A = this chain, B = another copy of it.
Amino acid sequence: MNSHLDPKLDLSFERIVDVPKKLVWKAWTQPEHLKPWFCPLPWKTIDCEIDLRPGGLFRTVMQSPEGEKFPGDGCYLEVIKNERLTWTNALLPGFRPAPTSNSVGLIDFLFTATIQLETHGTGTRYTVTVRHGDEAGFKQHVAMGFEQGWDKALDQLVALAKKI
């Protein structure tokens, strides 16, 4: 699904990391492994629920350094073990459309994210693609610091994965 990027709507991020893809997969799909790395510090992920199947819930609750909580609910679309994980906040579990008036505060634009993992030597080529529904959402995500945020979170993921 990583073909057909639209430069006005899509963001992507790619890095080679020195952990095998099965550990990256674990870090993305098991709440106890996801919570330590998912938010760039000093933000924290204080809760996480994962129902790992198309139509299943992906829920995180992030907490700001000031203690404010930001829940985010999404729905998995593609779950291909050790290869590709896709979810969206445009749908809730059971593929139900998210209420259109639902602004969750921290991320109030719609997106679909895909994490693609490919073996690269003894490590992994890690590619993130985030598709937005309109240019306003795309620009908001850029302004939030998409690239730096995913880069820093990936550093944290790699450090965590080495301890799994």
Contact = CB atoms under 8 A, between A and B. Distances in A.
Contacts of A55: 1, 77-78
Interface string A70-103: 0000000110000000101011101111111100
B94 A91 contact: no
Interface stretch (A13-21, A41-49, A128-136, A143-151): A128-136
Contacts of A96: 9, 112, 131-133
Nearest to A101: B134
Contact of A134 (B78, B86, B100): B100
A110 interface: yes
A28 interface: no
Nearest to A135: B99
A128 to B, nearest CB: 14
A68 to B, nearest CB: 25
Nearest to A129: B94
A4 B112 CA distance: 24
A94 B133 CA distance: 11
A35 to B, nearest CB: 25
A95 B131 contact: yes
A97 B94 CA distance: 16
B91 A112 contact: yes
A111 interface: yes
A1 B133 contact: no
Which of A78, A92, A95, A98 neighbours the largest number of chain B CB atoms within 10 Å of its CB? A95
